C-alpha cells in the first residue's frame, strides 16, 4: 500500500460511494426511519413511534396476515434447505468425480434454468401443471402417479409447496456451482493419498471433501436464507399480489408489496410498507449476524 | 464473506484440468485393465453417476424444451398432443405473429439490453476505481469504507424500495431507464468492488512501481496500467451483476412500468397476464424470452461458468 495525496483517493472512490449511498444505503436507512412515521391524506408525515409495528404485530387482521406470510416464508426456506442444497451438493459431487466423461456438458445443461428469469420459469411450470393442458397429468400417469394429480397451484394445501419446488428446480444451479467450485479447490494430493490408502469414494466424500467444503455450505445457507426471505417475483407472477388461494402462498415479499401499494379495498401506505420492510430487514440481519458469528467462531477455533 | 472472490487465476486452471476427463481417467483404469464399460464411461462405478446426471439433466431441460416445441404448433396440436414435435400439418407461427403485433417486444428487449449493459459498464468502471482505491492506498477510514460497501453484498436493496421510489420521483426519473441503471449499479457495486479489489491486489507491484518511478500520475497508472489488466475479472463481475438485473421484475414493475421503458421480464409478465387464455401467444412470448438467453448461453457458457466458479472459490 502506498500513501498518496487524499484527493486521488476521493476521486477514485466518489462515483461508487455516491451511487451506492444514494440508491442503496441511504434509502435503506430512510426506510428504517419511515417505519416510525405515518402520513395523513395530505402526505404530511408525523412521528408515531412504534405504532406501525404495534399494528402489524398485534392488530388482529394485520398480525394474522404478517405471521401467515412469515410462517410461509419459513416453510419456503426449509424446503429449499432440505431439497435445493442437498441435491445441489449431490450433483456437484458427481460432476467433480475424477475422470467423469461429459462433466462439462452436464454442468452446462443443468445450470440453464438458473439463468432464466423467475417470471419465465413460473409461467412455464404453471402451464405444465395446468389441468387444462394436461401435460402434468399425462407425465404423472406415465410414472404411475396419475391418481395423485391435482391442480397443485390452485389448492390451498399444495400451492406453497408447489411454488417452493418450482423455485428449488430453478435455483439448484447456484448451490451446485458454489459447491462445485469449492470441490475443485480440494487439494489433489490429499485425495490421491486417500485413494492410495484404499479409502472408498464414499469415505473420501464424507471424511475429506465434506469437512473441507463446510465454509461453502455455510455460505450457501446464508445466500439461500437472504434470497428466500426476499423472494417476490415467482409468487407475484404465478399467483399475483394476493398470493392465493386465500393467501396460502403469501411470503414477506408479497406482503410488503401489498402493504406498500395497496390491494382491493385497502389503500397502500408507504410508511406501513417501510415498517414491513424494516421487519424483513431485522429477519435478514438476524440470519446474516448468526452466520458471521458462527464463521468468526469457527475461524478462531481453527487458529488455536 | 471471504469465500466469494480471491485467487481468481489459480482456480480457473484447476477447472480446466479437471474438466478434461481423458487426462485423469487413464491412471485409475489401466492398473486393473479397462473393461468395455470403463472405456466408454470412465472409471467403473461411473455408470450410475451418468444415470443420475442424465435423469437430472432431463428434469432440468424438459420443461423448457416442451415450451419451445409447442410454441411453433397450432392451437389444436398443442392440446391434442403436447409431447409431439411439430409436423408439417401442425407447424404454426401464429403465436409469434400475435406477440410481435400486439406488443413492442423488440423495444422491451432493447430496454433490457440498455439497462443491463449500462449498469454493467458503470459497475465495472466505478467498481474498479473504488476497488483500486481501497486496495492500493492507505488512508483513514479505509476499513470502515470497505465494511460500508460490503454491507450491500448481504442486505438486499429491495428493502429500501419505499425510499428509492420517493427518491426517483423527486429526481423526476420515474419511467426512465436511467433510474433502473442507477439502482442496478447500486445493487451490483458492493460485490464488484470486493471481487475487483481482490483481483487488483494480485497485480504485481513492480508494474505500478515502475510507472511511479517514471513519474506517471496515479490516474494514468489506473487507467492505462490497471484498467486493461482487470479484463479477466470482468466475466465474473458480469455474471453476478447482469443476470439478476436482466431477470428482475421488482424494480421495473415499481420504477419503470411505462410502455416505453418496460424490460423484457416485465413485458412478458404483463403480456401473459393479459393473454392468459391464448395459448399460442403465451407459449410464443415465453419462447421469445428464452431464445435470446439460450443463444447467448450457447456462445458464452464456458466463460460464464468459469467466471462463476472463479468468483466463488475462497
Range of the domain at B106: 102-312
Task: ipTM value, please give it.
Answer: 0.89
Cell 428487449 locates to B109
Question: Contact B126/A182, CB-based, under 8 Å?
Answer: no
B87 and B211 inside one domain: no
In a domain, B158, yes or no: yes
Residue at a domain's end among B94, B117, B141: B94
Which cell numbers hold the place of A245?
Answer: 388461494
Residues facing residue A47 across a β-bridge: A37
CB nearest A27 (choices: B137, B163, B297): B163
B285 and B263 inside one domain: yes
Domains parsed from chain A with CATH numbers: 51-303 (1.10.3720.10)
Q: Are B134 and B193 in contact (CB under 8 A)?
A: yes
B189 and B209 inside one domain: yes
HSE-up (13 A, CA, CB side) for residue B253: 20
pLDDT digits (tens, 9 = 90+) for B75-124: 888 888 888 888 888 888 988 999 999 888 899 999 999 999 999 999 99
B81 and B115 inside one domain: no
Cα–Cα dist A25/A168, whole Å: 30
B-chain residues near A128 (CB < 8 A):
63, 66
In a domain, B185, yes or no: yes
| Minimum mean pLDDT range among B42-56, B159-173, B189-203 | B42-56
B172 and B251 inside one domain: yes
A-chain residues near B310 (CB < 8 A):
181
Which CATH number characterizes residue B281's domain? 1.10.3720.10
Q: How far is CA A36 from CA A47, B162, B163, in A?
A: 6, 13, 14
| Number of folded domains that form chain B | 2
B262 and B140 inside one domain: yes
B281 and B164 inside one domain: yes
Predicted pLDDT of residue A145: 85
What residues of chain B, 279 to 308, have a C-beta less than 8 Å from chain A?
Answer: 279, 282-283, 286, 289-290, 293-294, 297, 301, 305, 308
B181 and B296 inside one domain: yes
Q: What is the DSSP letter of A268?
A: P
Q: Name the residue among B237, B258, B256, B260 with its Cα closest to residue B248.
A: B256
Q: Are B161 and A260 in contact (CB under 8 A)?
A: yes
Which cell numbers hold the place of B97?
Answer: 405473429
For A33-37, the CB contacts below 8 A with 24+ separation are A33/A274, A34/A270, A34/A271, A34/A274, A34/A275, A34/B162, A34/B163, A35/A271, A35/A274, A35/A275, A35/A277, A35/A278, A37/A271, A37/A274
In a domain, B129, yes or no: yes
B144 and B89 inside one domain: no
B84 and B156 inside one domain: no
Q: Name the residue among A150, A19, A134, A5 with its Cα closest to residue B78.
A: A134
For residue B231, give how far its alpha carbon lies from the nearest alpha carbon of chain A (Å): 18
B-chain residues near A125 (CB < 8 A):
63
How many contiguous H segments (helices) and E segments (strands) does chain A have? 17, 4
Predicted pLDDT of residue B8: 39
Residue by residue, pLDDT tens for chain A (304 residues) are 445 457 889 999 999 999 999 999 999 999 999 999 998 877 788 898 899 999 999 998 899 999 999 999 999 999 999 999 999 999 999 988 877 888 889 999 999 999 999 889 999 999 899 888 888 888 888 888 888 888 888 898 999 999 999 999 999 999 999 999 899 888 888 888 888 888 888 888 888 899 889 888 999 999 999 999 999 999 998 998 888 788 999 999 999 999 999 887 788 899 999 999 999 999 999 999 999 998 877 765 554 4
The model's pTM is: 0.86
CB nearest A281 (choices: B24, B136, B159): B159
DSSP string for B43-90: STTHHHHHHHHHHHHHHHHHHHHHHHHHHTB-HHHHHH-TTSPP-TTT
Q: Name the residue among B66, B62, B32, B94 with its Cα closest to residue B280.
A: B94
Residue at a domain's end among B94, B111, B143: B94
Predicted pLDDT of residue A201: 81
Backbone angles phi, psi at A276, to 5 degrees: -65, -45
CB nearest A177 (choices: B160, B268, B309): B309
Amino acid at each position: 500500500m502506498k500513501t498518496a495525496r487524499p484527493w486521488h483517493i476521493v476521486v477514485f472512490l466518489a462515483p461508487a460511494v455516491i451511487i451506492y449511498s444514494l440508491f442503496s444505503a441511504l434509502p435503506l436507512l430512510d426506510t428504517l426511519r419511515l417505519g416510525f412515521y405515518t402520513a395523513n391524506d395530505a402526505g404530511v408525515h408525523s412521528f408515531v413511534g412504534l405504532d406501525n409495528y404495534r399494528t402489524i404485530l398485534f392488530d388482529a387482521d394485520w398480525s394474522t396476515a404478517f405471521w401467515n406470510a412469515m410462517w410461509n416464508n419459513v416453510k419456503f426456506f426449509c424446503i429449499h434447505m432440505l431439497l435445493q442444497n442437498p441435491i445441489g451438493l449431490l450433483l456437484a459431487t458427481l460432476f467433480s468425480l475424477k475422470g467423469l466423461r461429459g462433466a462439462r456438458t452436464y454442468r452446462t445443461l443443468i445450470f440453464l434454468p438458473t439463468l432464466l428469469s423467475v417470471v419465465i420459469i413460473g409461467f412455464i411450470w404453471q402451464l405444465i401443471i395446468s389441468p387444462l393442458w394436461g401435460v402434468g397429468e399425462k407425465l404423472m400417469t406415465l410414472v404411475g402417479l396419475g391418481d395423485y394429480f391435482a391442480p397443485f397451484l390452485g389448492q390451498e394445501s399444495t400451492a406453497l409447496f408447489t411454488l417452493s419446488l418450482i423455485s428449488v428446480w430453478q435455483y439448484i444451479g447456484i448451490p451446485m456451482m458454489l459447491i462445485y467450485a469449492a470441490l475443485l479447490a480440494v487439494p489433489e494430493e490429499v485425495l490421491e493419498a486417500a485413494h492410495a490408502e484404499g479409502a472408498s469414494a464414499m469415505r473420501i466424500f464424507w471424511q475429506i471433501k465434506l469437512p473441507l467444503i463446510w465454509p461453502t455450505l455455510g455460505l450457501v445457507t446464508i445466500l439461500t436464507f437472504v434470497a428466500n426471505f426476499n423472494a417476490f417475483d415467482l409468487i407475484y407472477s404465478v399467483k399475483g399480489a394476493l398470493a392465493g388461494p386465500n393467501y396460502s402462498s403469501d411470503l414477506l415479499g408479497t406482503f410488503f408489496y401489498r402493504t406498500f401499494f395497496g390491494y382491493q379495498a385497502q389503500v397502500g401506505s408507504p410508511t406501513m410498507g417501510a415498517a414491513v420492510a424494516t421487519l424483513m430487514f431485522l429477519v435478514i440481519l438476524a440470519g446474516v449476524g448468526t452466520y458471521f458469528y458462527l464463521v468468526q467462531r469457527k475461524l478462531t477455533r481453527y487458529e488455536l | 464473506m471471504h469465500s466469494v472472490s480471491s485467487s481468481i487465476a489459480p482456480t480457473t486452471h484447476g477447472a480446466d484440468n479437471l474438466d478434461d476427463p481423458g487426462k485423469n481417467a487413464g491412471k485409475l483404469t489401466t492398473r486393473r485393465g479397462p473393461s468395455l464399460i470403463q472405456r466408454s464411461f470412465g472409471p467403473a462405478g461411473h455408470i450410475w453417476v451418468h444415470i443420475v446426471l442424465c435423469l437430472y439433466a432431463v428434469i432440468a431441460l424438459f420443461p423448457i424444451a416442451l415450451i419451445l416445441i409447442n410454441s411453433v404448433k397450432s392451437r389444436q396440436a398443442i392440446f391434442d398432443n403436447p409431447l409431439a414435435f411439430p409436423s408439417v400439418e401442425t407447424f404454426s407461427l401464429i403465436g409469434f405473429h400475435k406477440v410481435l403485433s400486439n406488443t413492442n417486444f423488440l423495444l422491451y428487449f432493447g430496454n433490457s439490453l440498455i439497462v443491463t449493459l449500462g449498469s454493467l459498464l458503470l459497475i465495472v468502471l466505478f467498481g474498479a476505481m473504488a476497488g483500486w482505491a481501497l486496495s492500493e492506498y492507505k488512508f483513514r477510514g479505509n476499513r470502515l469504507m470497505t465494511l460500508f460497501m460490503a454491507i450491500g453484498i448481504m442486505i438486499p436493496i429491495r428493502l429500501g424500495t419505499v425510499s428509492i421510489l420517493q427518491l426517483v420521483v423527486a429526481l423526476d426519473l420515474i419511467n426512465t431507464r436511467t433510474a433502473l441503471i442507477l439502482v442496478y449499479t447500486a445493487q451490483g457495486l458492493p460485490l464488484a468492488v470486493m471481487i475487483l479489489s481482490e483481483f487488483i491486489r494480485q497485480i504485481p507491484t513492480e508494474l505500478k512501481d515502475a510507472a511511479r518511478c517514471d513519474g506517471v500520475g496515479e490516474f494514468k497508472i489506473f487507467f492505462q496500467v490497471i484498467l486493461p489488466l482487470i479484463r479477466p475479472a470482468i466475466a465474473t463481475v458480469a455474471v453476478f451483476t447482469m443476470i439478476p438485473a436482466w431477470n428482475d421484475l421488482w424494480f421495473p414493475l415499481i420504477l419503470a412500468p411505462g410502455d416505453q421503458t418496460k424490460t423484457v421480464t416485465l413485458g412478458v409478465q404483463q403480456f401473459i397476464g393479459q393473454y392468459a387464455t391464448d395459448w399460442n401467444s403465451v407459449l410464443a412470448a415465453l419462447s421469445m424470452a428464452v431464445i435470446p438467453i439460450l443463444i447467448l448461453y450457447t456462445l458464452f457458457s464456458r466463460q460464464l461458468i468459469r467466471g462463476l466458479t472463479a468468483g466463488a472459490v475462497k
